Chains A and B, each alone.
Chain A
């Protein structure tokens, strides 16, 4: 009996939903967990849209490419800067319709299809209780004692690993192989993804880890641990952003546009730092949550546009592979 009532209630609830328009948002896998930004974004948007926002998580690019025209997505959130070229080539996306000049990114952004909603930079993170003299430049890092062990991610399987390879390429250009050769003896190991690397670092197996400039923020604000620092290099740090795109074939174009507006709103932008542990894309530093402006960030930012990246990427990865395989 109780079961029957639950079923009836569920049916009624479904019927009620059917009347409210549904905005289907494809998001990266981490997005909708209760500690991710998803639930807050959903609550925030539903307050103003008179609609039902439904996240559908998974492996974004493979899923979009496999589904093609049959995709149920109205909006896709979480496409990283390294896949925008591929996403653009699908022809599935419409212009985002927002004013790029409202963005507060450290680089110029003129893409009218993919709209960044957060950003960060690659950085090597260390524990100041374990390292006496942290490197203060990339050259310093390469000259470090070989006993200091770093763990990085594989550029063939991870976006942060790929960003590192492009970072080295941007700083050292034709001498990238020499830079890798100097770094090689310090590299403890290479992991498939960021999580495994970071785990090795927090477990004390490695002294430094390739991560993001925003990583110390998590330890500071969520754990009150002030010993984890990002080494900031004057040569510059590689820029990474996550973007949101509107699907051209959406049956909810107004809602999709409203969502794009919401992404640029102060409400959305202020929840990004602590929900996503990254920097907001359209919020002046003065409005960042308390303490965030004190986070050490690089003066110089490096970034390859998608066309430039397409030219150098394959060779940069091969240089990495060949040098580290010796």
Chain B
């Protein structure tokens, strides 16, 4: 971070950091509806609009379904478009999420992760965004306010890249990040503007009356499959574009990003895979266990869609054992979504390590260093015994 001399160190909550990024992006259109714990983002952004700090057309819609519909339309007109949501708001957007992705609209949406009802709960888990993992959106996960801020700015460039043209969700943990004041470095407004560029990135515009185009026509057996295959190609291209954007961002900010972060994994026998704020706590646990002589490390996934499957295999294949921590469940009775993804990626490797799954933190249940330590200790035991089984544990639930 020392190279980021032009950055200002501030103390902001995750929501304030997200709203600041949105102000600096200065999108053409924001259509949003408030929902805890995302509300503050929209509230603060509407202040920026009222104060004339941004030129954004702010659309006060009557639901999240309308919010997503509105930004799909504005993106189709070539306007840089954003919204933000959480939990049930994201769920209400569901059918429009798929339409945004399949129309290839580069919408950027901060998602403040919150447990999906029911029973009704306002606190953090990943059931909302994980449920949308197959909607065709790029998904970035953030450990803290800094990463939420940095990811939102990079998301604009990733989504608008002509070879990608996909919407991007930037996830941060509800309350744990969104409502916690944290230190971060904020770029000068002009640096953000220079980094994101003119943008828009749409080849055709709904508002170009001289070159009229039809968006969203009926697409039956003879074409639908071709368009879905194109969509996959956009995701594939994102594998190339995400690191390109990260390199440019590092030049501006001094902060480096990749598909995932490897923390003290060089010689690690045991690696735990996690995403979101829990990675911060887990890093402290890694340090404590390293001090005790255990060869343990952490992989923190930043990009879950597209899934960096090959790179994860490269990072994990030489380990003696791996544990995946999931903050949501698939209710398949066969493990959580991150576990499925990572375990699947490892299948083609002959010498693959045993992979176990810990589902934790549902509905905002606190995750303590002692619990993460238990995950490492049990995984070290798996490494010692070489025991291989489909092990799915619920960490922190009263048994």
Do A and B bind? no
Q: Which residues of chain B have a CB within 8 Å of any CB of chain A?
A: none
